[in-house]
Amino acid sequence: MKIWVLSRNPKLYSTERLVEAGIRMGHDVQVIDYLTCNIMIDKGKPCLYVGSSQLELPDAIIPRIGASRTFYGSAVVRQFEMLGVFTTVKSQAIVRSRDKLRSMQILSRHNIDMPHTAFAATPEDIKVMMKQVGGPPIIIKLLEGTQGNGVVLAETYNAAKSALDAFFGLKANILVQEFIKEANGRDIRVLIVGDRVVASMARQSTKGEFRSNLHQGGYAQKVRLTKAERQIAIDAAKALGLSICGVDLLQSERGPLVMEVNSSPGLEGIEKSTGVNVADKIFTYIESNVHRKIKNPFDA
């Protein structure tokens, strides 16, 4: 099959691993920078160009859309869907997962447990919000933040008010969230492919740091999931319509909580810490599904 990896950087670990796995499994795999794809819209004739050349469509695409390019990247994925190309991650699911507030509203509607979360337009409501999420301390998150950036731990009311004043002064959208003390700076990344858990790792923050992201200096190791952790990760992926994703969990006194769902999870940390060949599993998923007739590419 002809399969394209939509990625801005062919040298990234995840992109290289996908190309390597696909070629080894006998596929024609190319990396396409989705920002070079021009969307042409006409009556009954959707198409894609790179420069002046119309693209000859692949059998499937693997979107690796950067958070800062969600709008354009998801539009390109949607155009491929319009043209009947199989995608491992649907455009609408990418959009849902990138909007932290929207994704948490969807998870809440599907009865999936998460840290208590509040959202408001002004810092004047900080006392009410802090009470609603059980703080202080509280977590303050930028809606547009990634890889642990734009996340602040406010341990007192004054610290929270100062942080919120600064964020609101920049006209930033933020969430106020419950701080799960018993997690001790540890979370679990669960990698979903299809409707199955294929790998899981525990990420631990360094001393003095509450964020466990590997990009923030945390370290990872393979972990065995409980039945509840496995189920909540699968349920979260299904709720957001994501066939391939990374679900981040916190262990709390009331059970596992979904912290975030990532529609373009990196492969390096989880492959190296677990020894699982996730890239191969993604291509196996494509092989099992690409020839199935998709009733509606915007379902789920």
pTM of the model: 0.85
Q: Taking Cα atoms as reference points, which of 71, 262, 21, 45 lies closest to residue 148?
A: 262
Alpha-helix residue ranges (DSSP H) falling in 125-248: 126-132, 157-169, 227-240
* Pairwise CA distance, residues 96 & 82, whole Å: 19
CA distance 59 to 61: 7
Most confident residue range from 119-128, 201-210, 249-258: 249-258
The residue ranking higher by pLDDT, 122 or 209, is 122
Q: What is the pLDDT of residues 160-198, one digit of tens each?
A: 888 877 887 777 788 888 888 888 888 999 999 998 999
Average pLDDT over residues 207-233: 76
C-alpha 231/C-alpha 289 separation (Å) is 23
> Tens digit of pLDDT for each residue in 142-161?
876 555 567 888 888 888 88
**Does pLDDT of 208 surpass 60?**
no
What is the model's pLDDT at position 296?
44
Question: Could you tell me if 68 and 264 are in contact, meaning their C-beta atoms sit under 8 angstroms apart?
Answer: no
CB 101 within 8 A of CB 175: yes
In this prediction, residue 297 has a pLDDT band, given cuts at 50, 70 and 90, of very low
Task: State residue 280's pLDDT score.
Answer: 97
d(CA 177, CA 3): 40
CA separation for the pair 64, 246 (Å, rounded): 13
| pLDDT computed for residue 298 by the predictor | 44
> Mean of the pLDDT values across residues 116-136?
78
What span, in angstroms and rounded, lies between the C-alpha atoms of 269 and 213?
10
- Cβ partners under 8 Å of residue 157, min gap 6: 126, 127, 130, 136
pLDDT at 47: 86
* Domain 2-89 CATH assignment equals 3.30.300.30: no
pLDDT tens sequence across 51-81:
888 888 999 999 999 988 999 999 999 999 9
Over 70: is that where the pLDDT of 34 sits?
Answer: yes
Mean pLDDT in the chain? Answer: 87
pLDDT of residue 235: 97
pLDDT in tens, 244-275: 999 999 999 999 999 999 999 999 999 999 99
Report d(CA 38, CA 27) in Å as an integer.
25
Which residues, 6+ apart, have CB-to-CB distance to 131 below 8 Å? none
Mean of pLDDT values over 10-28: 96
Output the pLDDT for position 129. Answer: 78
Angstrom distance (rounded) from CA 154 to CA 52: 52
Residues 175 and 230 sit within 8 Å (Cβ to Cβ): no
**What are the boundaries of each domain within the chain?**
2-89, 97-112+182-286, 117-179
Question: Taking the domain 97-112+182-286, which CATH number applies?
Answer: 3.30.470.20
| 212 three-state secondary structure | coil
CA separation for the pair 209, 218 (Å, rounded)? 9
pLDDT of residue 25: 96
State which CATH number among 3.90.640.10, 2.120.10.30, 3.30.1490.20, 3.40.50.720 fits the domain covering 117-179: 3.30.1490.20
Quickly state the pLDDT bin for 213 (edges 50, 70, 90): low
Q: Please tell me the predicted confidence (pLDDT) of residue 212.
A: 55
Question: Would you say 237 and 247 are in contact if contact means Cβ atoms under 8 Å apart?
Answer: yes
Report the 10 Å Cβ neighbour count for 275: 9
